[in-house]
Amino acid sequence: MLLQIILAVTAALTAGAVPSPQQAKPGGTPKCRFSPTYTQAQILQDPNPFISDVLYWEGKFHQNNVSYNTYNGMSYDGTLLDEITGLATAKHPFSAASKESLQIMLYAHAIAGSAQAAQFLSPENPAAASGMAIDIMTLKLKTYLQFNQTYPGFGGFLPWYTGDSQDIVPTWDWVNRVPALDNGYVSMSNGCNTVKS
C-alpha cells in the first residue's frame, strides 16, 4: 500500500498535478512555505524562480544574533528555530572556520556584484549588498587580527570559537588545536574568491 501511495505521489509530481507556483509579482515577497508550490519538472525546466525564493527566505537567517555577530562580523554555528512560528529560539554562540568560509564566499560574490548574493544579503535593497559585505568583512578582518594577536600559538588558524562578544575566544575543548578541515575550507574560499583584473 505504501509503495502505491509513493508511486501515485511521484506520478502526480512528474505530471504536474501539483498547483503551479504562486509566486509574488516582481519586487514582491515570495510565499514563505513555497516549496510545495513547485513540481520537480518545473524546477528542472527553469530553476531560477525556485532559487530566487530559496535565497530570499534563507537570507532571513543572515541577521544579528542568528547567523552572525554584527559587533565582530563572525559567524555562529546555527540557531534553533521554532518549527511552528519559524522564530529563533536558541543560538549556538560557537562556530568554526568552516562557517566562516561560507560567509567569505557569499560576501565575495556580493562585492563582485552577484544578483543572487545581493538577494540573499539585502533583498529589499540589493544595491546595498556590496557595501554591507565590505562592512562585515572589515569587522571580520579586525576580529581575525585581534585573535591572532591574542592567540599567536594558533598560527593564523581558527579553532572552534565562541563569538558572542566583541572578541572571539577558543571554546573550552579547542584551546590547543585547530580543525584542519574547517581551516582548509577558509583557504579554499580565499583561493576561489581571487578576483582577476
Q: 56-69, pLDDT tens digit by residue?
A: 888 888 888 888 99
In a domain, 70, yes or no: no
Q: 9 or 94, which is more confident?
A: 94
In a domain, 71, yes or no: no
Residue 11 pLDDT? 39
Question: Is 124 in the same domain as 46?
Answer: no
In a domain, 148, yes or no: yes
114-169 pLDDT per residue, tens: 999 999 999 889 999 999 999 999 999 999 999 999 999 999 999 999 998 889 99
Q: Which domain holds residue 19?
A: 2-61
Question: Is 170 in the same domain as 104?
Answer: yes
In a domain, 185, yes or no: yes
Question: Is 43 in the same domain as 17?
Answer: yes
- pLDDT over threshold 50, residue 109: yes
Question: Is 185 in the same domain as 93?
Answer: yes
Q: Which three cell numbers, joined as nine digits, stand for 44?
A: 528542472
**Residue 49 pLDDT level (bands cut at 50, 70, 90):** very high
Question: Is 97 in the same domain as 41?
Answer: no
In a domain, 128, yes or no: yes
Return the residue matching grid coordinates 529563533.
88
In a domain, 86, yes or no: yes
Which of helix, strand or coil describes residue 75? strand
Residue 27 pLDDT? 55
Bridge partners for 90 per DSSP = 80
Asked which of 33-47, 51-65, 104-118 is least confident by mean pLDDT, the reply is: 51-65
d(CA 114, CA 85): 31
Q: 152 or 31, which is more confident?
A: 152
Which of helix, strand or coil describes residue 164? coil
d(CA 165, CA 160): 15
Residue 26 pLDDT? 55
Q: What is the mean pLDDT of residues 101-105?
A: 90
- Burial (0-12, 13-18, 19+ Cβ within 10 Å), 193: middle
Question: Is 92 in the same domain as 6?
Answer: no
Question: Is 100 in the same domain as 138?
Answer: yes
Residue 190 pLDDT? 66
Q: What is the CA radius of gyration of the chain?
A: 20
In a domain, 69, yes or no: no
- pLDDT over threshold 70, residue 51: yes
Question: Is 124 in the same domain as 95?
Answer: yes
Question: Is 84 in the same domain as 180?
Answer: yes
- pLDDT over threshold 70, residue 19: no
**Residue 193 pLDDT level (bands cut at 50, 70, 90):** low
In a domain, 139, yes or no: yes
Q: What is the mean pLDDT of residues 13-30?
A: 48
Question: Is 182 in the same domain as 116?
Answer: yes
**Residue 33 pLDDT level (bands cut at 50, 70, 90):** confident
Q: 19 or 120, which is more confident?
A: 120
Question: Is 84 in the same domain as 134?
Answer: yes
The total of structural domains in the chain comes to 2
Report angle CA 91, 95, 96 to the nearest 5 degrees.
165
Question: Is 161 in the same domain as 117?
Answer: yes
